[in-house]
């Protein structure tokens, strides 16, 4: 298993990055939106916590900013009907702390804001994982205060300040992020785009 990759960022695509290691090996790594928010410019060094998924037709490497995000990715797949693609979508649409909070707090409606997560899947996630995420913390554990309100987090806070509920804000921001044609939108652009869906 490849548990961590550090290398020069050489390619950024819609759902993946390519890192070139010092040994001359280039790894193509599928990443959630939260990783894109923290990426430096190409040519800079990136360090990702990774896990490999083996399929009949491919070996897929998934990368995350923290070991906690990687662990959540693995645990989401323990729920019936959740594969790596859907687990990555969940981590792209919602902050880690919100996913853990929704599952532990028995809030399937929050999970249903993610494209591909229907009512039954959301209920299964809550039912099957509700008591299995205690060690991953809840709301603000492990969040760097300097980056907690950047990108998606700041957009969510802005929408809540305008009077929208957490569920409404998260759903609108998730749609706005998916529609962004320019990669990772800035906070103001994200808020503007999200408001079109509220």
CATH number assigned to the domain with residue range 4-64, chosen from the 4 options 1.10.760.10, 3.40.50.300, 3.40.50.800, 2.40.50.140: 2.40.50.140
Q: Which CATH architecture has domain 67-136?
A: Orthogonal Bundle (1.10)
Domain ranges of the chain: 4-64, 67-136, 152-195
79: its two tokens:
């729920």
Question: pTM for this structure?
Answer: 0.68
Task: Report the distance separating Cα 84 and Cα 76, nearest Å.
Answer: 8
Structure tokens of 70? 């990687």
Residue with tokens 């300040």: 161
Tell me, rounded to whole angstroms, the distance of Cα 77 from its chain centroid.
Answer: 14
Per-10-residue mean pLDDT of the chain, 198 residues long, equals 93 94 95 90 95 91 95 95 95 93 92 94 95 72 39 74 78 78 68 86
For residue 42, the SS3 value is coil
pLDDT value at position 100?
A: 93
């Amino acid at each position: 298993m490849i548990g961590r990759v550090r290398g020069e960022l050489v390619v950024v695509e819609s759902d993946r990055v390519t890192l070139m290691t010092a040994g001359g090996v280039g790894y193509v790594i599928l990443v959630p939106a939260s990783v894109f928010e923290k990426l430096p410019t190409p040519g800079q060094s990136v360090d990702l916590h990774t896990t490999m998924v083996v399929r009949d037709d491919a070996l897929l490497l998934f990368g995350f900013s923290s070991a906690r995000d990687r662990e959540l990715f693995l645990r989401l797949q323990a729920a019936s009907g959740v594969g790596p693609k859907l687990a990555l979508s969940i981590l792209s649409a919602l902050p880690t702390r919100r996913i853990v909070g929704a599952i532990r707090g028995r809030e399937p409606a929050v999970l249903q804001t993610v494209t591909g997560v229907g009512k039954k899947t959301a209920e299964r996630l809550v039912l099957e994982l509700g008591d299995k995420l205690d060690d991953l913390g809840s709301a603000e554990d492990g969040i760097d205060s300097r980056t907690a309100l950047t990108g998606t987090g700041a957009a969510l806070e802005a929408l809540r300040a305008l009077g929208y509920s957490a569920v409404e804000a998260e759903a609108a921001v998730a749609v706005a992020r998916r529609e962004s044609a320019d990669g990772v939108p800035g906070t103001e652009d994200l808020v503007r785009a999200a408001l079109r869906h509220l």
